Chain A
């Protein structure tokens, strides 16, 4: 008998080589994706502030992420003398590990999912990604610095407060599906012919706000508020460790955006994916050409900009980007036009729509970041505990009642709107009621005393 560990490894590789390969691919590609999300964010910020943003590295700064990555990798790695070395080493790894692990449960299109058909699908993603908080808290503690500890404390308080609201929002969407399996959730939306954002708009709003707070993004970026806490929990981290935290933050953004897309925005489904079965709506099938046109438009724009680049290398790079866009457009066009390639339609176009929705969700995050100033900590807590949590509980209750009424009248698909819209309106009235009560009782005198504790 050979060594049991070797034998077990062989068995594991035999059974799970495909998911393993996909996982390695994701781990390899994700830093690049995150780098480009950061580039988009900087460009967007520049645009909103009437600047140009990164322009030097590559045409329009397209190679900036790679330059940044190289800079971070060769920076000096500093561990403070009084830090708890082991925990200091462990914390960023924990943060990024949890974020990457939760990506495994997501389904990008009907064909591509690493952990195929796990029964607890959405719970796995949410639960594992919540473990990333330990990376933040332990990192803040291990640095042995006041700013870091303040950031860590704020972060854990914030996460605990907003996880309830997010969970309740998930529950009210899950009431429509009756399953936790990610594939079945999207299939349920396909069968109903309606996305759950229409059926449970209040839950979507609650999840949106809670997900911003959970990923520590502005306007809720209290744990790393640079005007108060230097950089919060990652003050003492530098170089590669710091970039691991950064990677985890953006991977978490992708995770929450994907959860919202799967649960509320129809996953990989095209808008009006079922409408063509009705008479007179055949024209909506032209929506299949939208991805192709989008790619061609970007490609043409790149070609048009090519001669205007200052150096020869940049011109070639721009040309290559245009070529890439045309190739992608061709790949998207083939399953629509060629009958033989029809089976690949769901996979290719599903992937496109999923990534588009996730990008729009992340774009919204950035848009908010550059628009709304940061909340104060007591305002953040009051918003979470006094407004979002009661609202989400009332919402779950009313959505449940609406569903019972719907099954009583045998409503399905768009018909469900007849019962869920009144439920949403009642929830909105309740929301205004809560706000009115808040205004009456709000602004207590000891407000500063309550906030001082975390203010630093």
Chain B
């Protein structure tokens, strides 16, 4: 099978390109900064930035529901709890402890394996049919269904059972948390 070219009926505007590289660059840079900062609160701020930049990329993909869910759940919910817990920790004590895991060789091995996997995927893409990167065709933004409706359709029609199983799992975790918190009193 001949290599299919990514077929772009739309000319991607310069604005879209610049915004994409801005969001992608911000996400990667703040991801790196989040790991390397010594101050936990600074790390949390960079994690927030990374999550917001990812939300921006969702928005560029015309997935506005995912964009706002990313902001409400991850940034507005989970990160608030993160920061809340960080403030309860005594930072001066925490700073004196060893902050980085000292398993360099394991880390190096895992990173190399991941890099090999990704580069293999790039390398094979298009060479073998049905493998590697999926070749997508861009659709006009006006032809897309509204994103919240599309997400609801796929959650409650196509993937109802996995969705329900996931909800039960979350419920179990929640009840478990309540039980563990109650035991102390």
Question: Does A87 count as interface, using CB distance less than 8 angstroms?
Answer: yes
Q: Mark A437-450, 1 if CB is under 8 A from B, else 0.
A: 00000000010000
Within 8 A of A (CB), among B82-136: 83-84, 87-88
> Nearest chain B CB to A35's CB is how many angstroms away?
29
Contacts of B65 in A (CB 8 A): 119-120, 123
Q: Mark A271-310, 1 if CB is under 8 A from B, else 0.
A: 0000000000000000000000000000000000000000
Within 8 A of B (CB), among A64-120: 84, 87, 90, 118-120
A128 engages B71 (CB within 8 Å): yes
A119 engages B76 (CB within 8 Å): no
**Cα(A133)–Cα(B83), bound, Å:** 11
Contacts of B67 in A (CB 8 A): 120
B80 engages A133 (CB within 8 Å): yes
Question: Does B25 count as interface, using CB distance less than 8 angstroms?
Answer: no
Contact of B76 among A8, A15, A130, A446 (CB under 8 A): A130
Contact of A137 among B83, B147, B148 (CB under 8 A): B83
Contact of B15 among A11, A123, A124, A141 (CB under 8 A): A11
Q: Mark A124-162, 1 if CB is under 8 A from B, else 0.
A: 101110110110011001000000010011001101100
Q: Which of A87, A124, A131, A153 has the most CB of B within 10 A?
A: A131
A127 engages B72 (CB within 8 Å): yes
Instruction: Write the chain B residue with the least CB distance to A153.
Output: B87
Q: With contacts A4-B18, A118-B64, A119-B146 known, is A130 near B87, CB below 8 A? A: no
Contact of B71 among A8, A127, A137 (CB under 8 A): A127
B45 engages A87 (CB within 8 Å): yes
Question: Does B176 count as interface, using CB distance less than 8 angstroms?
Answer: no
B14 engages A7 (CB within 8 Å): yes
Within 8 A of A (CB), among B1-54: 13-15, 17-19, 39, 41-42, 45, 48
Residues of B in contact, count (CB < 8 Å) = 31
**Cα(A87)–Cα(B83), bound, Å:** 13
**Cα(A366)–Cα(B18), bound, Å:** 46
Chain A contact residues, majority secondary structure: helix
B148 engages A180 (CB within 8 Å): yes
Question: Does A341 count as interface, using CB distance less than 8 angstroms?
Answer: no
B87 engages A137 (CB within 8 Å): yes
Question: Does B174 count as interface, using CB distance less than 8 angstroms?
Answer: no
Contacts of A124 in B (CB 8 A): 68
Q: Which of A5, A90, A119, A163 has the most CB of B within 10 A?
A: A119
**Cα(A136)–Cα(B128), bound, Å:** 54
Question: Does A432 count as interface, using CB distance less than 8 angstroms?
Answer: no
Instruction: Write the chain B residue with the least CB distance to A181.
Output: B146
**Cα(A307)–Cα(B65), bound, Å:** 58
> Nearest chain A CB to B50's CB is how many angstroms away?
14
> Nearest chain B CB to A376's CB is how many angstroms away?
20
A126 engages B72 (CB within 8 Å): yes
**Cα(A172)–Cα(B83), bound, Å:** 30
B68 engages A134 (CB within 8 Å): no
Contacts of B13 in A (CB 8 A): 8, 11
A149 engages B185 (CB within 8 Å): no
Contacts of A12 in B (CB 8 A): 15
B17 engages A119 (CB within 8 Å): no
Contacts of A160 in B (CB 8 A): 77, 80-81, 84
Question: Does B75 count as interface, using CB distance less than 8 angstroms?
Answer: yes
Instruction: Write the chain A residue with the least CB distance to B62.
Output: A119
> Nearest chain B CB to A93's CB is how many angstroms away?
13
Q: With contacts A4-B17, A4-B18 known, is A119 near B148, CB below 8 A? A: yes
**Cα(A128)–Cα(B83), bound, Å:** 18
A127 engages B80 (CB within 8 Å): no
**Cα(A149)–Cα(B84), bound, Å:** 10
> Nearest chain A CB to B89's CB is how many angstroms away?
11
Q: With contacts A12-B15, A120-B65 known, is A131 near B76, CB below 8 A? A: yes
Contact of A127 among B14, B41, B68, B88 (CB under 8 A): B68
Subset of 5 A-B contacts with CB under 8 Å: A119-B146, A124-B68, A133-B80, A137-B80, A157-B84
15 more contacts with CB within 8 A, not counting A137-B84, A156-B84, A160-B84, are A8-B14, A8-B17, A12-B15, A84-B39, A119-B65, A120-B65, A120-B148, A131-B71, A133-B80, A134-B48, A134-B83, A138-B45, A138-B83, A153-B88, A163-B77
Give the top 9 A-B pairs by smallest Cβ distance, nearest first: A8-B18, A127-B72, A130-B76, A11-B15, A8-B15, A7-B14, A123-B68, A156-B84, A8-B14
> Residues on B close to A: CB < 8 A?
13-15, 17-19, 39, 41-42, 45, 48, 64-65, 67-68, 71-72, 75-77, 79-81, 83-84, 87-88, 146-148, 185
> Residues on A close to B: CB < 8 A?
4-5, 7-8, 11-12, 15, 84, 87, 90, 118-120, 123-124, 126-128, 130-131, 133-134, 137-138, 141, 149, 152-153, 156-157, 159-160, 163, 180, 446
